[in-house]
């Protein structure tokens, strides 16, 4: 296959640059967060994150060579690979923090649920393109089954946070595909009605406790079950004030009062050390990325490409809202990573795949006539 260099004229360099800027901020903040997590080896997570950033962006560059329409010929293999990896977690997975979510491949710890988000975006975009606007229950049920099977495997791990990301992707892509509002409203209604059953039969005790902690994080009886996490995060964010305490000067972070500061609560470190202004600038970069993605979705040359970009938008929006929300106690703690900032190879590389899809769709949004 010969690559037409003229396609690069359509590449959204602004989106890629914004992503790189956020990644650099992530490495900088992670250097500070690592000092509290591993004071004897403060560069451990930083070095690993730099490696993921390099690998992820090389992967993006390489992916631009291939036309995203080739994915339509690989839908069944991709879906089966997705299910196989998720099933392998249940059989051969490594347990961390009370959940079995990782498998080791060639010595590399892989979290298949992170990549499952990207697989489901591709597969669902293909299904919705074939069925155009969903106007009947059979087609809607089939689309639901496509998403529900990998989602169920993720719930078994258990990983409620990632399962909720699937719901956000599903609803966002259904809406963009022109699904009638009565069907979307019915799905929301069924979800609300099913909540008591989920509480009784699906949610684990620690997941229930997280929801109770969210209602009153400062209650003494919840301090040992996550209330401490949220309280320390609120202290960190609040103490940052307008311009922050300064780089490597965050007391909640450096003195290790803030739990999971390099993963779940990385935004708290950012807010404490760079303040409201620093946090707002990073959020602004994400908003700019979302604006560029929306532009690409609207200009895409086909429904498949447009819906894939919408899936990435839904993924980004939901994870931003939940992760930042839990650091300021407006959302329960779920363990959903903050894109490009949270430490971790699987989360970073999977999001790079998502950006690669968006850039690919944008680059091929029209036929080159010159």
Q: ∠ at Cα 195 (192, 197), nearest 5°?
A: 135
Tens of pLDDT, residues 302-351: 999 999 999 999 999 999 999 999 898 888 888 899 999 998 889 999 99
Phi, psi (deg, nearest 5) at residue 105: -120, 115
Tens of pLDDT, residues 178-195: 988 899 999 999 989 888
Tens of pLDDT, residues 104-129: 776 677 899 999 999 999 999 999 99
Contact 295, 344 (CB under 8 A): no
pLDDT at 165: 95
Who contacts 363 (Cβ-Cβ below 8 Å, separation ≥6)? 7, 8, 10, 11, 12, 64
Question: Which tokens go with 343?
Answer: 């430490």
pTM of the full structure = 0.93
Cα-Cα end-to-end distance for the chain: 20
Domain residues of the chain, as ranges? 5-363
| Mean per-residue pLDDT, 96-111 | 71
Tens of pLDDT, residues 30-56: 998 887 777 788 888 899 999 999 999
Question: Which tokens go with 65?
Answer: 């060579």
- Give, in order, the Cα–Cα distances in Å from 35 to each of 76, 251, 256, 313: 45, 11, 9, 33
Contact 218, 329 (CB under 8 A): no
> Which of 309, 362, 343, 350 lies closest to 119 in space, CA to CA?
350
Question: Which tokens go with 68?
Answer: 């995203």
Helices (H), the chain: 13-37, 44-63, 75-92, 112-131, 137-156, 160-176, 181-197, 205-215, 227-240, 251-254, 266-299, 303-327, 345-363
Could you please report the per-residue DSSP string of 254-289?
Answer: HTT-STTTTTTTHHHHHHHHHHHHHHHHHHHHHHHH
> Which of 52, 117, 123, 92 lies closest to 345 in space, CA to CA?
52
Residue 140 has pLDDT above 80, yes or no: yes
Contact 234, 329 (CB under 8 A): yes
Q: Which of 73-82, 197-206, 211-220 has the lowest mean pLDDT?
A: 211-220
């Amino acid at each position: 296959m010969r690559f037409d260099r003229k396609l690069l004229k359509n590449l959204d360099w602004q989106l890629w640059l914004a992503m790189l800027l956020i990644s650099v901020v992530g490495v900088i903040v992670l250097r500070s967060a690592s000092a509290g997590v591993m004071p004897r080896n403060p560069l451990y997570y930083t070095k690993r994150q730099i490696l993921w950033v390099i690998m992820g962006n090389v992967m993006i560059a390489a992916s631009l060579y291939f036309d995203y329409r080739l994915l339509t010929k690989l839908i069944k293999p991709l879906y089966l690979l997705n299910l196989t990896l998720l099933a392998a977690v249940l059989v051969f997975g490594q347990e961390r923090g009370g959940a079995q979510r990782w498998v080791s491949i060639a010595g590399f710890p892989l979290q298949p649920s992170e990549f499952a988000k990207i697989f489901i975006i591709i597969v669902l975009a293909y299904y919705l393109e074939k069925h155009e606007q969903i106007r009947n229950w059979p087609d809607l049920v089939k689309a639901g089954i496509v998403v529900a099977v990998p989602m169920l495997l993720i719930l078994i791990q258990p990983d409620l946070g990632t399962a909720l990301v699937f719901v956000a992707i599903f609803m966002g892509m259904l809406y963009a595909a022109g699904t009638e509002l009565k069907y979307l409203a019915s799905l929301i209604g069924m979800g609300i009605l099913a909540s008591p059953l989920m509480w009784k039969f699906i949610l684990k005790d620690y997941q229930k406790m997280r929801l109770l902690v969210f209602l009153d994080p400062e209650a003494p009886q919840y301090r040992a079950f996550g209330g401490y996490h949220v309280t320390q995060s609120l202290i960190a964010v609040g103490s940052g004030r307008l311009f922050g305490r300064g780089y490597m000067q965050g007391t909640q972070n450096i003195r290790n009062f803030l739990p999971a500061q390099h993963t779940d609560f990385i935004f708290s470190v950012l807010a404490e050390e760079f303040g409201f202004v620093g946090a707002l600038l990073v959020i602004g970069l994400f908003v700019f990325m979302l604006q560029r993605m929306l532009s690409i979705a609207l200009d895409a040359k086909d429904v498949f490409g447009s819906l894939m970009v919408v899936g990435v938008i839904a993924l980004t929006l939901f994870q931003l809202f939940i992760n930042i929300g839990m650091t300021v106690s407006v959302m329960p703690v779920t363990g959903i990573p903050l894109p490009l900032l949270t430490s971790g190879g699987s989360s970073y590389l999977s999001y790079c795949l998502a950006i690669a899809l968006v850039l690919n769709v944008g680059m091929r949004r029209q036929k080159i006539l010159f």
